[in-house]
C-alpha cells in the first residue's frame, strides 16, 4: 500500500497512517486498472463507491441520442469522481466516465460512511468534513464552468478558459489537459471554429501556442 499517496490526498487530511489503513479496509477499498478509452462508469448505472485516481486521468462526458458528445471535465491523479452518487446510491449517474490514458483507480465505498461508522467516530467525522471541503470546492469549479459556458462569444469562452488555467498555474505559460477536440467539446464550440479563432488570436498577438502549450500575451 502506497501510504504516501494517501497521506497527500485531501480526503485523508488530518488522519494518522493507522486511521487511513483502517478506513480503507472498513470501506472496502480496491484498486483497478483501465486502458485508454475504456469506460469506468457508463451513464445509467449507480454506485456506492467513489473513484480516486491513483495514476492516469479520466474524462467525464455526456453522449446524447444524436451522438453529440459534451465533455464536462477531466480528472487526473489524486482527483475524486462520483462522490455525489456514491453518497446517494439511488441516484443514477448521468454521464460516462472514460479513461483518457492507461489509468488506475482506487474505489472506496464512501456510501458506508454514514450507515456504518467503522467504529471510530472521530475518524468518520474527519472524513465527512474532508468530503465536505472537496464538495464545496467542486461546487465553485462547477459554478465557474457555468460562467464559461454562459459566455456570449467563442473568444470570451477561450480567453476565460485560458485565464482560469493560467491562474491555477500561477503562470502566463502553461499546458492544458485537452487536445483540440476535447477543448472544443469542453467549451461547447466546434473544433475547426476553435482552431480558426485560436490562430486569429495568435495573429492579433493576444496569445501564443503550440499544441497544448499556451502563453498569454499582455500587449
Residue positions counted in the chain: 219
- Tell me how far, at minimum, the Cβ of 25 lies from DNA, in Å: 38
The yes or no reply on residue 145 touching a copy of itself (CB under 8 A) is yes
Where do runs of H (alpha helix) occur along 88-175? 112-115, 121-150, 154-169
C-alpha cell at 95: 454521464
Which one among 8, 36, 133, 196 touches a copy of itself, defined by CB under 8 A? 133
Q: Does 118 bind a copy of itself (CB under 8 A)?
A: no
* Contact set for a copy of itself, span 160-219 (CB under 8 A): 188
> What residue 3 binds from DNA, a copy of itself, none (CB within 5 to 8 A, per partner kind)?
none
Least Å from the CB of residue 126 to a copy of itself: 10
- Whether 207 and 198 have beta carbons less than 8 Å apart is answered as yes
CA distance 154 to 187: 8
Residue 149 as a binder of a copy of itself (CB under 8 A): the answer is yes
| CA 129 to the chain's CA centroid | 20
| Binding interface with DNA (CB under 7 A) | 152-155, 179-181, 188-199, 209, 211-212
For DNA, which is the closer residue by CB, 40 or 198?
198
CB closer to DNA out of 104 and 212: 212
Pick between residue 83 and residue 197 the one whose CB is nearest to DNA: 197
Strand order in the sheet with 30-34: 30-34, 103-108, 50-55, 80-81
Nearest distance from C-beta of residue 142 to DNA, angstroms: 21
Site string for a copy of itself, 80-109 (x = CB under 8 A): ---xx--xx--x--xx--------------
Long-range contacts of 152-157 (CB under 8 A, 24+ apart): 154/187, 154/189, 154/193, 154/194, 154/197, 155/197, 155/201, 157/187, 157/188, 157/189
> Would you say 110 or 198 has its CB closer to DNA?
198
Phi, psi of 147 (to 5 degrees): -60, -45
Residues 6 or more apart whose CB falls under 8 angstroms from that of 80 comprise: 11, 50, 51, 52, 53, 134
Q: Which residues form the interface with a copy of itself (CB under 8 A)?
A: 62, 68, 70, 72, 83-84, 87-88, 91, 94-95, 114, 121, 124-125, 128-129, 131-133, 135-140, 142-147, 149-150, 152, 188
Amino acid at each position: 500500500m502506497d501510504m504516501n499517496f494517501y497521506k497527500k490526498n485531501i480526503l485523508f487530511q488530518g488522519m494518522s497512517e493507522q486511521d487511513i489503513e483502517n478506513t480503507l479496509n472498513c470501506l472496502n477499498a480496491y484498486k483497478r486498472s483501465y486502458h485508454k478509452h475504456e469506460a469506468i462508469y457508463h451513464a445509467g448505472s449507480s454506485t456506492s463507491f467513489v473513484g480516486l485516481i491513483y495514476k492516469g486521468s479520466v474524462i467525464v462526458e455526456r453522449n446524447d441520442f444524436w451522438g453529440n458528445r459534451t465533455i464536462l471535465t477531466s480528472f487526473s491523479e489524486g482527483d475524486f469522481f462520483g462522490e455525489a452518487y456514491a453518497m446517494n446510491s439511488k441516484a443514477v449517474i448521468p454521464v460516462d466516465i472514460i479513461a483518457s490514458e492507461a489509468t488506475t483507480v482506487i474505489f472506496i465505498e464512501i456510501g458506508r460512511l454514514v450507515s456504518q461508522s467503522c467504529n471510530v467516530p472521530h475518524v468518520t467525522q474527519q472524513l465527512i468534513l474532508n468530503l465536505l471541503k472537496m464538495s464545496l470546492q467542486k461546487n465553485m469549479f462547477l459554478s465557474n464552468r457555468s460562467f464559461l459556458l454562459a459566455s456570449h462569444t467563442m473568444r470570451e469562452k477561450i480567453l476565460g478558459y485560458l485565464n482560469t488555467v493560467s491562474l491555477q498555474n500561477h503562470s502566463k505559460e502553461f499546458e492544458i489537459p485537452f487536445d483540440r477536440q476535447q477543448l472544443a467539446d469542453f467549451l461547447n464550440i466546434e473544433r475547426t471554429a476553435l482552431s480558426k479563432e485560436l490562430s486569429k488570436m495568435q495573429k492579433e498577438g493576444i496569445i501564443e501556442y503550440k499544441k497544448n502549450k499556451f502563453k498569454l500575451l499582455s500587449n
